[in-house]
Amino acid sequence: MDALTARQTDIIEIARAAGRVNVEDLARRFDVTAQTIRKDLNELCDRRLMSRIHGGAVISSGVRNLAYDARRFVAAEEKRTIGRAAAELIPNGSSLFINIGTTTEEVAEALSGHENLLVITNNLNVAMNLSRREGFDVIVAGGPVRGADGAVIGSAAVDLIRQFKVDTAVIGTSAIDEDGSLLDFDYREVRVAQAIIENARRVILVADRTKLERTAPVRIAHLDQIDTFVTDWMPSDRLRALCREKGIRLVETMPENASEPELTD
């Protein structure tokens, strides 16, 4: 296999720093055509160094996640629409878990118009956001804090979560396999997520479609343990059929006529 070109190497470094790359932006940066950049990205994706997303690509992840700040830029607008749609499903005067993740943080942000919520979270970013809201009671799980993203992980966090039985759990995931497995990178974080699922009457999964293009080594749960799946768009016919079969409510925030993201002319 031929070595990477200097431009392809630079594209990978840009993606590692920013979380994602965009075809048009790269074309301007390198002063080449969009078609040339698409060819570069297709070659990088063929080598499994990157994964396709709408309008560009992200670094492929197998055993290590992208940096948290970089993940905020991946499908940012899609995550905001998912957050708003999920927040609309949560009634005033209810109790909920919210776990770690950039998409679950968008749900928390969209809860600003709600009243009288009890929120238990292992996400310090969510706790700081919602604790400022009048009428919100916020409880933070105890335990070690992962400095990279403000996640509280470990057995103490699991023990606290198991003391509650809440109305709704809002969870994210790092990857979704075609068989419906929900996957993550840190087994300590996964234990917290599993406790959250087990102790909620209803579970809402929030994840954009790029999670279907990624993989991770640790299994959180299966899609059939989820009640509602809020995403921007479901490109997988197999997962769409699984949602129908298992009675999972699928909420898509993009128009029905959205086309599958492709790096083609």
CA 35 to chain centre: 29
Confidence at 69, pLDDT banded by 50, 70, 90: low
* pLDDT, average across residues 87-92: 97
CA–CA distance, 232 with 82 (Å, rounded to integer): 6
Q: What is the CATH number of domain 6-60?
A: 1.10.10.10
Which residue in the block uniquely carries the two structure tokens 């909620």?
200
Tokens at 145, concatenated: 């804090």
What pLDDT, on a 0 to 100 scale, did the predictor assign at position 55?
A: 86
Which CATH class for the 75-252 domain?
A: alpha beta
pLDDT the model gives residue 18 = 72
Question: Residues 59-94, buried b or exposed e (16+ Cβ, 10 A)?
Answer: bbbeeebbebebbbebbeebbbbbbbbbbebbeeeb
- How many CA atoms does the CB half-sphere of 98 hold within 13 Å? 31
Across the chain, what does the average pLDDT equal?
87
The residue whose two tokens read 């699922």 is: 197
Tokens of 94: 């209810």
CA 200 – CA 197 distance, rounded (Å):
6
pLDDT at 173 over 50: yes
- Check whether 167 has a pLDDT greater than 70: yes
Question: Among 11, 31, 30, 9, which Cα is nearest to 21's?
Answer: 11
Q: Residue 59: pLDDT above 90? A: no
**What are the residue ranges of CATH 1.10.10.10 in the chain?**
6-60
Ranges for all domains in the chain classified under CATH 3.40.50.1360: 75-252
